Amino acid sequence: MKNPAVFYAVIALGVVVLIAGVYMLVGMHFHGKAYAVIALGVVCLAAGISAIFVTKSKAATAK
């Protein structure tokens, strides 16, 4: 993909969701729901970062 803005948006969404999950865990004491939100944030971060590396490596091998 030539436009990495989508991947950066997924990473930003992951950071926001992680912050919300930590706030739910520490500030609001919603432990069960907070762990699910934190897991979703980690998945978003991992997906965004890995997609950036995969597209860069595909572009490098295509040349």
Model pLDDT for residues 19-34, shown as the tens digit of each residue: 999 999 999 988 899 9
Q: What is the pLDDT of residue 56?
A: 78
Model-wide pTM > 0.95? no
Give the pLDDT score at 47.
94
> Which candidate, 52, 50, 40, places its Cα nearest to that of 15?
40
Question: By percentage, how much of the chain surpasses pLDDT 90?
Answer: 67
Element (DSSP H or E) covering residue 27? none
In degrees, rounded to 5, the angle at the alpha carbon of residue 46 between the alpha carbons of residues 25 and 2 is: 135
| Helix or strand run (H / E) with residue 16 | helix 5-26
Kindly give, in sequence order, each residue whose CB lies less than 8 Å from that of residue 17, ignoring residues fewer than 6 positions away: 37, 38, 40, 41, 44
